[in-house]
Each structure stands twice: as structure tokens, then as C-alpha cells.
Structure 1
């Protein structure tokens, strides 16, 4: 089941990877065109997929509609900018009875593309090796029975719906089984700093959708504190309190390093130092999720 919004750049590669690697699996490819304004729907139709078109809505809504459309006993939620590997197909064939018959959510983190960018190598590849407690929504697999028992994705969430889904599933007794043999390649990782910032702004929106979600998000709280320190830094500069400004400037640098060390705690010092500047923009971007959310509500 593939949710897709303006995915002409990637959708064809995903469908080709499915045809090429999953040729011995009996499956249905469902594409939910989530209000695309490009040729996503036409591409999906020409590729012979089961196309469902809906007005633009949350990705959760698109996933839920796709799940309701599916006739199979097992549903694989795959994002349009992902490619599936032969390892995914072989593992899926082996695990199918277990996934079908057990109350569980499975899948795996993404692999980086064959020609990685700087961000791929230093940010996303180390992240893919971390131990996590949830499954990314772009490579998430479970039985239709398990999906219904958990209650589907929360359609009120703009982002973070996969994390919330897994937490709710675990709380309702589902097993979270991360299977690294279910390998997928993510072509949609940002390649530039601007793309990285836009991605993190979008990802952080869910953390500001209600006080409860904000208080549960250490990243959102850290981002707000980080921006407040910037205000103190600017205030000290304007007041010509240069020693105070130096203190706040060093504090910002220390926080960026500490966040990098926290995120990449199992990586080398070189990786942590390399990602310290990225963590600065990561925190700024996560704060900017708040005005982005407010602007979305106004519009």
C-alpha cells in the first residue's frame, strides 16, 4: 500500500523494484493518490496498480484508506520514495505466516541509496544502525487483523503517525518486531541542507499538535529552549554585554554538540563532530515546525 503525493520522481522506481524483486509473491499494489497536482495518478495507472484517488489529506488518512481497500491478509505500508530489495521479498515470503497469524508490527529502518550524499553518509546511515522501538511508516508490515485491532493511524496527526501507531499498538498488546532483513532503500533522504531543514520542519509538526504531545517530545522542548537562548544571545549583543553573549554563544555550540552526541551516541567522535552543525539546524528547524503549523491552520 503506497501513499503518494506528487511522487512522479520516485514512484516509478518503487513499482519497478516491486516488479523486479517481488515477482514470486502474490500481491496487489495499491497506490493512494493523496491529492497530487502532478502526474502521480497517471503514472500509477499506467503501471497497472490499483489506484485510489482522494482529496489532499493527512498521510494517516491515505494509509487508512489504502488499508480499507486492501483485500490481502497482510498489508505492507511502503512510501513512494522507497525501493524494495530482493532480501525484502525473500524475508517477506518466509515471515508471511508469522505476520498473518500473530499480533505484531514488523519492518525495518531504511538503507541509504547506492550513490550517497554527505547527509546520507554522516546523518542517515548512522541513524539507520541505531536501535529503535518503532517501525518507520514507509516500511511497516502487519496483518489486517492487527491493523484493525490497533485502530489504524491517527488521522489528526500530520507527522509522527508511525511512532504513535507503534506506541498505541504496543500498549494494546502488539509485538514490535524490527527485522533488518526486510531491507528497503530510501531515495527520498534530503541531499542539501535546505532540504534537510524542510524535512525536519515537516517532521516536527506533530510534536506541536497539542500540549500533551509537546510535553512528551524532548526534541520539541529542546528546540524551544534552543531558540530562547538565541534571544538571550541577541539581547546580550544589542546591550554590548559581549562576555554574556560569548557565554550564550558557547552554550548554543555545547547544546548542538550534546544533541549530536545523544543522537549518534554509538557512533565515532568524528561522526558526532561532523553532525554537530547539522544538529544546530535540526533544532532550529524543529522549532520552526510551530509557526509552520500555525500558518497551515490559518490557511
Structure 2
């Protein structure tokens, strides 16, 4: 009997997919009771070859966005429960045992975890994935690199939204809750994320990419405080730029207000880990990352709005 099917979407992850698969194959869990399915989204590197050597099945599925890729793996699953992990993440050896214990408490609950820092984490990773006295901060919704739920529940809810380029994990989480199901986040299901953005430019590009999710459900984001902050930041920055020569005072005020917004996010992130910054440099670097975050999200949001004109 196969208890778990582990689905891994993959696109040009030759650098990390080997570590991911090794962590899965080394689980302290009967190997004949779980299967590993890699769904490759058209990689141009050695991802497919690496996957074929270590996974039970490697499906080449070049068409479709990430939600469709995850759903393709789930449609081929033989396991009673589905596990979703990203190709640039790894599990510790007892992850599946803890997942089974959680599922035994409530089969109608979707469980998820958060991300841990890799051993060689850069300052960007450390200041973005803040850790507190109790460990890492958990996300508010399910994230695609750490999800486990009963396959029947997944099929009943209709799987991931296949029209979304990103954010399909959060959207699934919200849909589960609306349908009356429980979503539980636990550090017991943490994974190590090796593919974090390690440079400022990569960080901004990632936020621009994540902002593509606004296109699919723009109206639903109106109640999201972070989305509203990104929209306000974009508006104030635009106003400040365009009024710089025509109304300097208005421009300065708008830009000053825009620069306050990242501080709100920074304070919110430190509150989530229940601690204050350890040093002035940590506080400044964390604020700077939230500024880059809003810049990236604003660029992405602006692109979405322009595409609708």
C-alpha cells in the first residue's frame, strides 16, 4: 500500500533536484510505502536525467503553468496522501513520519510547513526569512514547497488553479478554508529552501514574478493588507516621480510617505517572530529588503494593470 505520493514540479533545477531527491530517498519511512513523481516543465538543463536516476517516475510536461504541473503529478498518484515539495527544497529524515502523524489526527485537514535557511545563507536570506526564539516564522497560507493532504480532499477541492503563474498555493489554501476545511501550518513540516534569492537583483525579479499572481484574482486581493501596501507604494512613488518638477512639495511628501510603508512590513515581520532586531544592521537590512519587496511588487502590479488597459 502506497501511503504517500510526493510530487515535485521542476524547471531547470539541476543545481538542487539531486539534493531534494536524496532527502526523500533517505526518509526513515518504508520505501515501498511512498512514491516520488517529478513533473518536469520543459527543463533545458540536466534536471530530467537527474530525476530519472532517483525518482520513481519522471513526467515531461512542458506545457502549462505551475498549478497544472502540480496537478499533472497528482493525477498520476497512487498514494492515499499527496505531498508537494519544490525541487530546490529538502526534508529531514523523519518528515514523512511526522506528516503521517498529523494526518492521523484529522484527514480533512491540509497541512503545511515553512522554510528553513540553508547552512550557507546570505544576509538577504537571513534578513528575509527571519527566525525568532522559537524558530522560523510560518507562512499565513500553504506554500507549495511543503504541503501534505489526503488525495480525496485534493480532488474534491479541484486541485490547484491552473491559470496562475504563481500564488497557486495560497489560492488553494484560501479555497480549502472557504469550503469549510481546515488548514494547519506546523514547524514539524519545515523544509530547507536552497533556492532563495541571494542577490538584490534576483530578489526584485522574484517579487516581480510573484506579482503575476495578481492578474488571476486581482479583485480577491483587495482585502489583503500587503497587496494594498504594494498598491499604495506604487501610487505614491508614481505621484512623487511625476510631480517632482511641477509640485516639489507634493513630490517630497509622497516619497516620504512611500518610504514609511516598508517599515510597516518590517515591523510586522519582526512581530511574527516575536522579537526585536538583534542589531541596527539587521533592522536596516530588513527594512531595505522590504523596500525592494515593495518595489518589485509595484513593478509587477503596474504591469498587470497596464495589461488590462
- TM, length-normalised to structure 2: 0.86
Residue in structure 2 matched with residue 103 of structure 1 by the alignment? 108
CA RMSD of aligned residues (A): 2.5
Which deviations, in whole Å up to 9, do the C-alpha atoms of 1:34-85 show, x marking residues without a partner? 1222221122112243011112311100111111100010110011010010
- Within the candidate set 6, 9, 17, 2:12 is matched to 6
Paired with 1:109 and 1:233, the residues of 2 have a C-alpha distance of: 37
Partner of 1:268: 276
Aligned counterpart, 2:3: none
5+ residue gaps in structure 2? Answer: 1-6
Moved more, 149-158 or 88-97: 88-97
Q: Greater helix percent: which structure?
A: 1
1:20 counterpart residue number: 26
Mark the CA change 1:22 to 1:8 in structure 2 (over 3 Å): closer, same or farther.
Answer: farther
Partner of 1:207: 214
SS of 1:92's equivalent in the other structure is helix
Alpha-carbon distance, 1:186 to partner = 0.5
State whether residues 18 and 50 of structure 2, in contact with CA within 8 Å, keep that contact through their aligned partners in structure 1. yes
Q: Deviations over 1:105-134 (max 9, x none)?
A: 012111111121102211113497335442
| Residue 57 (structure 1) aligned to one of 58, 64, 79 | 64
TM value normalised by structure 1: 0.88
Offset, 1:147 = 0.7
**What is the match of residue 146 of structure 2?**
139
Q: Note closer, same or farther for the CA distance 1:179–1:214 as it changes in structure 2 (3 Å cut).
A: closer
Aligned 1:1-299 pairs, distance under 5 A: 1-22=7-28, 24-25=30-31, 26-95=33-102, 97-98=104-105, 102-126=107-131, 129-239=136-246, 241-265=247-271, 266-269=274-277, 270=279, 271-290=282-301, 293=304
Residue 210 of structure 1 deviates from its aligned partner by 4.3
**Consecutive unaligned residues in structure 1, runs of 5 or more:** none
- CA offsets, 1:262-283, max 9 Å, x none? 3333441455443111111111
Aligned length, in residue pairs? 294
Shift of 1:191: 0.6
Cα 1:175–1:238 shift into 2, 3 Å = same
SS in 1 for 2:165: coil
State the SS of the aligned residue for 1:237.
coil
